[in-house]
């Protein structure tokens, strides 16, 4: 028995007894004679007033019991059928009469360490070697490009600031360069998600004829093995001097797993610094959840393609037709493509945007997303002829103030350090065209 009920009984029972006695006395001595009642009448009046007192005390008793343990009481009431429980959907599409409150979206910060695969455990020597390899131009066919040529870690927040990549011998690639910052938290890599790990990803650009254009894995091994300082570094990182292509990509991946940037106003806000976001950014954060951006850009890395609890890595884009499809050629061979949901961390620093780098304003990207991915490009309601019902999902386009607030929130996802470095280099392309 809990203390509320014990208190109630301890005080309540004596109080009821005392109250009954008092009532009896009042009826016998005062009310009875005053109303001229006989002995029978006096007993009847005592009984009636006594019942009233008892009912009142019982009511207080119930209130005390309910307030002492609300959950279990309500739970018991529900099980006994006094309150209808929230009904599960019966699969025939009948609406739930008492829909359970949707689980609140939980905002999270990035962990300080990225998960690593069992077959490539990190160590400081491997990371140092990976950092050197990331900047190694000898890994490109003509010795002009390194990973860092396209993924400028400082001046361009891990991208290159161009619409699409500029590869070896001035060749332009078809896709925009995504940032490598926080890429270690993504479960699949590349715009179309075709690489399952950083190791798998790193094999691509070195041998890609329009990126670094190296002839073969053996050529990479041969070039590095000619340098004794590399042989020493491989020995420190892997235990022996063997310079194998697989080890090259493992070291690069280990280095990339250290490229974590969680020093954003958003992360500070979520850790409890209420002043870290401006009012516009806080409004944008609420909109980001309420209009449904979190359906795809969810979790601490703002991507459903994340290793941190992501579920549906790939989505159609554009999911519904809009006037933007032709304005920024968004269709691949006339059809929507299947793309990985990108992280939105540092997105304000890594324009131009989208897989083809066709949009150079972040507010325009937000309008495109709202229209193409959330259907917010037209009618507020649609008549569904098949089941003669109104689809009342809000499909009105976002207002300009809402777009501005969403952009403000996206800016709160920029690392302080990377923003400062990008500003210092005045956002010039890292290499002349
Ligand atoms: C010529 C420019 C260029 C060079 C050099 C280059 N990359 Fe990339 N990188 C790109 C482009 C473009 C993409 C996106 C390609 C795609 O999605 O099809 C990309 C994608 C990536 C990604 C995936 C990021 C994500 O979120 O999906 C990683 C990681 C990456 N590159 C690392 C590297 C490493 C490591 C090297 C050096 C071995 C390298 N890149 C060299 C242009 C380049
Ligand atoms: C249905 C899933 C989905 C929803 C909902 C969604 N997005 Fe996206 N978002 C994507 C995909 C997929 C891409 C990659 C598009 C591409 O390949 O060009 C993307 C790309 C972006 C980009 C560009 C990233 C870059 O690096 O170029 C931004 C910014 C963005 N989304 C913001 C938003 C905002 C803001 C909302 C809410 C208004 C939103 N998204 C809603 C799936 C979604």
Place of tokens 């025939």: 92
DSSP string spanning 308-325?
TT----EEEESSS--THH
Residue 66 in domain: yes
- Is residue 271 located within the same domain as residue 250? no
Residue 391 covered by a domain: yes
Nearest ligand by distance to the CA of 324? 2
DSSP state of 390: E
Q: 52-91: per-residue pLDDT in tens?
A: 767 766 776 666 555 555 444 334 333 443 333 344 444 4
Distances in whole angstroms, Cα of residue 250 to Cα of each of 131, 158, 187, 247: 11, 19, 16, 5
**Domain-ending residue, one of 256, 275, 308:** 256
Quick one: which atom of ligand 1 is closest to the CA of 189? 27
pLDDT (average), residues 133-147: 97
Task: Tell me whether strands 389-391 and 314-317 are parallel, antiparallel or unpaired.
Answer: unpaired
What is the total count of domains within the chain?
3
Phi, psi of 77 (to 5 degrees): -60, -40
- Cα 141 to Cα 122: distance, rounded to the nearest angstrom: 28
Asked if residue 190 and residue 59 are part of one domain, the reply reads: no
In a domain, 87, yes or no: no
Looking at the fold, whether 223 and 272 belong to one and the same domain comes out as no
- CA separation for the pair 120, 132 (Å, rounded): 18
Pick from 239, 256, 273: which residue ends a domain? 256
User: What pLDDT, in 10s, does the model give residues 3-42?
Assistant: 455 665 677 677 667 777 887 777 777 776 777 777 777 7
Helix axes 70-79, 39-68, angle to 10 degrees: 100
**Cα 355 to averaged position of ligand 2 atoms, centre (Å):** 10
Q: Are 270 and 305 within one domain?
A: yes
Q: Is the CB of 167 under 6 A from ligand 1?
A: yes
Catalytic residue among 116, 136, 199, 211: 211
Q: What predicted TM-score, i.e. pTM, was given to this entire model?
A: 0.79
Residue 399's CATH number: 1.10.760.10
Residues 364 and 341 in one domain: yes
89 domain-assigned: no
CB distance 211 to ligand 1 below 6 Å: yes
Q: Helix (H) and strand (E) counts for the chain?
A: 16, 4
Nearest CA to 134 out of 259, 268, 269 is that of 259
Mean pLDDT (the chain, rounded): 86
pLDDT digit string, tens, across residues 396-420: 899 999 999 999 999 999 999 999 9
Q: Which residue has the tokens 């029978």?
A: 40
Assess whether the C-beta atom of 183 lies below 6 angstroms from ligand 1.
yes
Domain membership flag for residue 74? yes
- Please report whether residue 95 resides in a domain: no
Co-location of 285 and 224 in the same domain:
no
pLDDT at residue 430, as a whole number: 54
Residue 109, classed as helix, strand or coil, is coil
If asked whether residues 284 and 367 sit together in one domain, one would say: yes
Helix (H) or strand (E) run with residue 382 in it = strand 382-384
The parent domain of residue 130 ranges over 124-256
Residues 281 and 338 in one domain: yes
Catalytic-residue membership of 246: no
Question: For residue 411, which phi and psi values (nearest 5 degrees)?
Answer: -65, -25
């Amino acid at each position: 028995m809990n203390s509320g009920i014990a208190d109630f009984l301890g005080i309540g029972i004596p109080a009821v007894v005392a109250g009954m006695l008092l009532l009896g006395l009042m009826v016998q001595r005062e009310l009875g004679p005053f109303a001229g009642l006989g002995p029978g009448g006096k007993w009847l009046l005592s009984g009636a007033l006594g019942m009233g007192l008892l009912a009142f005390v019982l009511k207080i008793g119930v209130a005390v019991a309910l307030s002492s343990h609300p959950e279990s009481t309500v739970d018991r009431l529900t099980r006994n059928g006094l309150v209808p429980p929230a009904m599960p959907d019966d699969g025939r599409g009948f609406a739930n009469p008492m829909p359970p409150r949707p689980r609140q979206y939980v905002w999270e910060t990035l962990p300080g360490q990225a998960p690593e695969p069992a077959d490539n455990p990190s160590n400081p020597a491997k990371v140092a070697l990976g950092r050197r390899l990331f900047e190694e131009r000898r890994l490109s066919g003509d010795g002009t490009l390194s990973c860092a040529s396209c993924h400028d870690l400082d001046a361009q927040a891990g991208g290159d600031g161009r619409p699409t990549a500029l590869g070896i011998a001035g060749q332009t690639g078809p896709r925009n360069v995504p940032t490598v910052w926080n890429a270690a938290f993504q479960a699949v890599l590349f715009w179309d998600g075709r690489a399952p790990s950083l190791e798998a990803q790193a094999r691509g650009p070195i041998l890609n004829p329009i990126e670094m254009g190296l002839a073969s894995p053996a050529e990479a091994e041969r070039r590095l093995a000619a340098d004794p300082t590399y042989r020493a570094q491989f020995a420190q990182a892997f235990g022996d001097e063997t310079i194998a292509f697989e080890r090259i990509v493992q070291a690069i991946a280990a280095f990339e797993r250290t490229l974590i940037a969680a020093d954003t106003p958003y992360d500070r806000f979520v850790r409890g610094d209420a002043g870290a976001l401006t009012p516009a950014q806080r409004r944008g954060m609420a909109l980001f959840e309420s209009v449904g951006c979190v359906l795809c850009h969810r979790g601490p890395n703002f991507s459903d393609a994340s290793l941190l609890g992501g579920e549906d890595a790939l989505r159609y884009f554009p999911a519904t037709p809009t006037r933007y499809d032709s304005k920024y050629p968004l269709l691949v061979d006339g059809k929507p493509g299947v793309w990985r949901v990108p992280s939105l961390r540092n997105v304000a620093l890594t324009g131009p945007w989208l897989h083809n780098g066709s949009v150079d304003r972040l507010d325009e990207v937000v309008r495109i997303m709202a229209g193409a991915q959330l259907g917010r490009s037209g009618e507020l309601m649609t008549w569904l002829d098949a089941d003669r019902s109104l689809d009342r999902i809000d499909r009105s386009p976002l207002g300009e103030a809402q777009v501005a607030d969403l952009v403000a929130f996206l800016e709160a996802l920029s690392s302080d350090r990377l923003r400062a470095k990008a500003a210092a280099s005045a956002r010039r392309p890292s290499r002349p065209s």
